[in-house]
Amino acid sequence: MRTITLEEHFISPGFLAGPGKEFTERLRNSGPHGARICELLQEVGDKRVAEMDAAGIDVQVLSLNSPGVEQAEVADQIATSREANDFLIEAIKKHPTRFAGLASLPIAAPDKAADELERLVRQQGFKGALINGHTRGRYLDDKFFSPILERADALNVPIYLHPTIPPKAVVEASFGGFAPAVSAMFAGPGWGWHIETAVHLIRLILGGVFDRHPKLQVVVGHLGEGIPFMLPRLQKNFPTQLTKLGRPLGAYLRENVHYTFGGFNFPATFLDLLLEVGAGRIMFSVDYPYGSMKEARAFLEQLPVTAADRERIAHGNAEQLYGM
C-alpha cells in the first residue's frame, strides 16, 4: 500500500540563522531528545529516505518547520521564505520520487507571497503552501491576505494551516501564571496552538473566505484541531440566518477542509473525525520528526475502516487533492 505523509518538516540554513534561531536553540538546549529532533530537521537526504524505507513511507510532502517566517519582520519573511523554498527545491531534485514540497510564504507581503506561490507551483511543481497561523495577530480572513487566497484558488492548490503560538496578549491572559515550562506547553502543543488553529479556521469560514473562493481547500492537522468534537455544536449555534453565509457552517468543514493525523494516533479521536467528515476528507501524516514514522504506519494499518478507505487515507485522497 502506497503511503503519502503531509505534515513533515525541515529547517534550512537561512531559517536556522534567522527567524528560527530562537526556536532551534531552545530545542537543542532542551535535552538529548530535542537535540536529536533538531538534527533530524536538518537532514533532508539519504538518511531520511532510509528511515522512510524502514517505516514503509513512500512520499513525504515537506514544509518549513514552525514557527516558519510568519512572526518575522516583512523583509526577513521575504528573504527567509525564498531561501527555504530554494533549499527545498534542491532536496526534492535529489529525491524527486520521495519528496514533494509545500511553499513557505511571506504572508505579511501578500502580493509577493502570491507570486512566490505561483513560482513554486508552476516552475517547481510544489503542491501548495503551508502557513503557520497568524502573522503578529493578523488572520487570513482579513482581506489584506486576499492576493494569497486568490492565487491559491487560481492555481488549484490547497493551503495547509499549521499551528502557531497564539498572539502574545492571549498567551499572557489565558496561559500565563504557571511555571515557564508548564505555560509554554499549555500555550503550545499541549493545548493552546491547537485551539488557536481551530479558531483561525472558524474565522476563515465566518469571514466569508469560502464564499468568496468556493473552490479553495484548506488542510488542518492533528485530526482536526478539536473541531470534529465541536462540529455539531458549531453548526447548531451558527445558523445561516446568523452568519449570512451561503452554506451551513458544517458544509464548509466537510467540503472545503481536509484533515490529517499529524502525530495524533488516537483511535477515539480518529473515529469522531471519521463519523463527522467521512474517509474522503482524511489523509495520513506523521508530523516527522516529532512523530514516529513506524508508529504512525502501524496506526494506519489498525484503523477500523474498509480496505478501500484505508487506501484512500494512505494515499488516494492526497493524490487527488495535491495532484500527485
Mean residue pLDDT of the chain comes to 97
Per residue in 241-258, pLDDT (tens digit) is: 999 999 999 999 999 999
Cell digits of residue 259: 484533515
Q: Could you report the per-residue pLDDT of 27-77, keeping only the tens digit for each?
A: 888 889 999 999 999 999 999 999 999 999 999 999 999 999 999 999 999
Q: How far apart are CA 93 and CA 199, in angstroms?
A: 37
For the residues 120-143, what does the mean pLDDT come to? 97
Res 182: pLDDT: 97
Tell which phi-psi region holds residue 244, choosing left (phi > 0), alpha (psi between -120 and 50) or beta. left
Strands, DSSP E only, in 149-289?
159-161, 218-220, 257-260, 282-283
Domains of the chain: 4-322 (3.20.20.140)
Distances (CA, A) of 265 to 192, 291, 299, 300: 19, 9, 6, 8
DSSP 8-state secondary structure symbol assigned to residue 284: -
Point out the catalytic residue in the list 46, 111, 141, 287: 287
Q: Is the pLDDT of residue 262 over 90?
A: no
Per residue in 170-213, pLDDT (tens digit) is 999 999 999 999 999 999 999 999 999 999 999 999 999 999 99
Model's pTM, two decimal places? 0.97
Interatomic CA distance for residues 170 and 173, integer angstroms? 5
Give the per-residue pLDDT at 29: 87
- Give the list of residues 6+ apart from residue 42 with CB closer than 8 angstroms, or none: 10, 11, 16
The yes-or-no answer on residue 287 being catalytic is yes
Q: Which of 317, 316, 283 is nearest to 300 (CA)?
A: 283
pLDDT at residue 30, rounded to an integer:
87
Output the pLDDT for position 187: 97
The H or E element spanning position 169 is helix 168-170
- What's the CA gap between 234 and 316, in Å, rounded? 29
